[in-house]
């Protein structure tokens, strides 16, 4: 896997702290830094997600993918799945994630709560590389709602 991240700030763009990531699979992701009131030339313009937001989003995508796949492999009729991640970061640099809570909402027909609980645990403990990496610095907790459709 590879990715090239390039600063766009010196290319005449609106944000002095914009970046474009080009993934090895051929996709493009824009990122921007947070605005800096004290030194506007060092801040972004809030034109795209912050880099650490993309880390959180990638973790959510990784774990939601696992949960859906595990449930489907168990022949459960999953119709919807989402995960809301909330986090806290260290106050001093490096401002790593210190707490992450993942709240899943799974909807489908006849899915046992134990299957959802197991899928989340398997993702969190075995399959989701992103959350397993982040667990080195962050306390990760999970919860879920199961909606019968």
d(CA 73, CA 67): 10
Mapped onto helix, strand or coil, the DSSP state of residue 119 is: helix
Q: For residue range 49-87, list pLDDT tens digits in order.
A: 999 999 999 999 999 999 999 999 999 999 999 999 999
pTM of the complete model: 0.92
Percent of the chain at pLDDT exceeding 90: 92
Mean pLDDT computed over 143-148: 98
Which secondary-structure segment (H or E) carries 62?
helix 51-73
Residue 132 burial (CB count, 10 A):
17
d(CA 46, CA 84): 21
d(CA 130, CA 59): 5
| pLDDT at residue 131 in the model | 97
- Is the bond preceding 94 in cis, omega lying within 30 degrees of 0? yes
Say if CB 85 and CB 110 are below 8 A apart.
no
| pLDDT at residue 10 in the model | 72
Mapped onto helix, strand or coil, the DSSP state of residue 95 is: coil
Please report which confidence band the pLDDT of residue 40 belongs to, taking 50, 70 and 90 as the band edges: confident
| pLDDT at residue 11 in the model | 73
Please report which confidence band the pLDDT of residue 124 belongs to, taking 50, 70 and 90 as the band edges: very high
Residue 9 in this model has a pLDDT that exceeds 90: no
Please report which confidence band the pLDDT of residue 16 belongs to, taking 50, 70 and 90 as the band edges: confident
């Amino acid at each position: 896997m590879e990715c090239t991240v390039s600063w766009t700030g010196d290319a005449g763009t609106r944000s002095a702290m914009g970046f474009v990531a080009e993934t090895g699979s051929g996709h493009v992701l824009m990122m921007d830094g947070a605005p800096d009131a004290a030194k506007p030339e060092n801040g972004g313009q809030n034109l795209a997600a912050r880099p650490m937001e993309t880390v959180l989003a990638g973790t959510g995508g990784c774990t939601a993918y696992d949960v859906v796949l595990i449930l489907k492999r168990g022949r459960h009729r999953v119709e919807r799945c989402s995960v809301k991640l909330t986090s806290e970061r260290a106050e001093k640099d490096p401002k790593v994630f210190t707490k992450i809570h993942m709240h899943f909402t799974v909807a489908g027909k006849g899915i046992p709560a134990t299957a959802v609980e197991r899928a989340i645990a398997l993702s969190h403990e075995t399959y989701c590389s992103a959350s397993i990496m982040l667990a080195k610095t962050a306390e990760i907790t999970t919860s879920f709602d199961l909606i019968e459709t």
